[in-house]
């Protein structure tokens, strides 16, 4: 199996994190083809032939079949494992959090980080759009904090794919300009995720993005 | 079971359409509590106690358990029915389209319709934001058109929940200002969905919204 992904993308790191936690090893059980969406590598004719929506991550099986959308990939990889609840209601709750992540969280939490790290310092996006991302991102964190005040995990009684989906960009929210101090339950949950067996952190971004992310605005 | 939904919302209509196609009948098998998100009814303390994210639709079981996110609700309702593929890979493909719908389609196709029908005629959102919705919505339609040139359905070999998810707002895209003439495969697919057994159309919006949606800008 081949993963096409951009190492600095939380959506892509989700796939690597689950693969590692499932005990699958890079270059033994799966290949990783680095595909830098910030430099147009998801808009080439070759890539668009695999995913017409022009986004990473995707997985490609050895027979050529392709699956897109990070959270759909998590569902497929986790089939039959403890990371996907066996109970239908609980599985639907996990899916609910994964749709929440893609609709109410990622478009703000991930995009704030993208604007800060991958757009020029004089980008117009650093104005009203970044402010809106911060406002909506905090609204998403408030919803998460409320859930975590009564629950250890998002997936169900145990850690799993909904936690992986929400962890990816929450763990690097500081790079987007978010202060997680007001969310003690989220900070405790982030620490619990980091302590799960087989956990791997997202690689550091390349130097240019890292310098931009480290700026104090 | 109780559905809390806004009848003019495609996300909410998805749930009603699947329930009807599963043979469940309003006021016999489920209740519908009209919850007008355009008038703040999803932001009351009572509603936020059910869904802290303040969005419809949600379903509430008779024992009080709640499930949010339209596409997660579809997955749960369709469990064990022909509307959810039994094959794990095909189920993941259906989920991939449902995540596509919430990330790359709904935020533009649905929001364009919302801006035109539910914001004042002098709303600043009718400028750059509406233009961006139209541009991104057409990009989503191009991806759908390409898929439908080789496939009858989004869910798999048969009609199912990914079709319901994508149908809801595509069928009323004209109200958002989209012209679907360039997408013959989408128009054929919309007709095929409307011909599925038990199909019910979304109710007409209330008079005020209908008048705004009928305006020629």
Chain Cα centroid distance, residue A167? 7
With CB atoms and an 8 Å threshold, state whether B143 touches A68.
no
Quick one: pLDDT at residue B13? Answer: 98
Quick one: pLDDT at residue A216? Answer: 78
Residue stretches of chain A with pLDDT short of 50:
none
Quick one: pLDDT at residue B216? Answer: 78
Task: Give the integer Cα–Cα distance in Å for A173 and B24.
Answer: 43
* Chain position carrying tokens 């890539």: A47
| Closest residue by Cα to residue B105 from A10, A100, A9, A53 | A53
pLDDT in tens, A51-81: 999 999 999 999 999 999 999 999 999 999 9
The whole-chain average pLDDT of chain B stands at: 97
Is residue B217's pLDDT more than 80?
no
With CB atoms and an 8 Å threshold, state whether B92 touches A75.
yes
pLDDT in tens, B147-173: 999 999 999 999 999 999 999 999 999
Query: What number is the average pLDDT over the span B105-127?
Result: 96
Closest-CA residue of B relative to A49 is B146
Task: Give the integer Cα–Cα distance in Å for B153 and B19.
Answer: 19
Total residue length of chain A: 217
pLDDT in tens, A107-122: 999 999 999 999 999 9
| Closest residue by Cα to residue B55 from A168, A136, A149 | A136
Task: Give the integer Cα–Cα distance in Å for A69 and A75.
Answer: 10
> What domains can you pick out in chain B, each with its CATH number?
2-78 (3.40.30.10), 88-194 (1.20.1050.10)
Closest-CA residue of A relative to B66 is A93
Task: Give the integer Cα–Cα distance in Å for B131 and A3.
Answer: 34
| Closest residue by Cα to residue A21 from A144, A205, A148, A163 | A163
Is residue B46's pLDDT more than 90?
yes
Residue B35: pLDDT band by 50, 70, 90 thresholds? very high
Closest-CA residue of A relative to B99 is A69
Query: What number is the average pLDDT over the span B116-131?
Result: 95
Is residue B124's pLDDT more than 80?
yes
Task: Give the integer Cα–Cα distance in Å for B62 and B2.
Answer: 8
Task: Give the integer Cα–Cα distance in Å for A20 and A17.
Answer: 5
pLDDT in tens, B47-99: 999 999 999 999 999 999 999 999 999 999 999 999 999 999 999 999 999 99
| Closest residue by Cα to residue A72 from A26, A18, A33 | A18
Quick one: pLDDT at residue A151? Answer: 98
B-chain residues near A132 (CB < 8 A): none
Q: How far is A22 from chain B (nearest CA, A)?
A: 17
With CB atoms and an 8 Å threshold, state whether B99 touches A102.
yes
Which pTM was predicted?
0.98
């Amino acid at each position: 199996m081949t993963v096409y992904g951009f190492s600095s993308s939380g959506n892509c790191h989700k796939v690597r994190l689950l693969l590692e936690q499932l005990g699958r090893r890079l270059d033994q059980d799966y290949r990783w083809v680095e595909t830098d969406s910030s430099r147009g590598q998801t808009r080439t004719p070759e890539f668009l032939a695999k995913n017409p929506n022009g986004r990473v991550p995707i997985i490609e099986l050895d027979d050529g079949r392709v699956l897109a959308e990070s959270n759909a990939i998590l569902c497929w990889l986790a089939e039959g494992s403890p990371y996907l609840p066996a109970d239908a209601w609980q599985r639907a709750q996990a899916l609910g959090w994964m749709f929440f992540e893609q609709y109410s969280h990622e478009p703000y939490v991930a995009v704030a980080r993208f604007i800060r790290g991958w757009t020029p310092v004089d980008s117009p996006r650093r104005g009203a759009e970044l402010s809106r991302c911060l406002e909506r991102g905090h609204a998403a964190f408030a919803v998460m904090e409320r859930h975590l005040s009564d629950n250890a995990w998002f997936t169900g009684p145990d850690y799993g794919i909904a936690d992986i989906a929400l962890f990816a960009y929450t763990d690097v929210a500081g790079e987007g300009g978010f202060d997680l101090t007001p969310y003690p339950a989220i900070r405790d949950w982030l620490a619990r995720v980091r302590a799960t067996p087989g956990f791997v952190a997202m690689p550091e971004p390349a130097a240019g993005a890292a310098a931009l992310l480290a700026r104090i605005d």
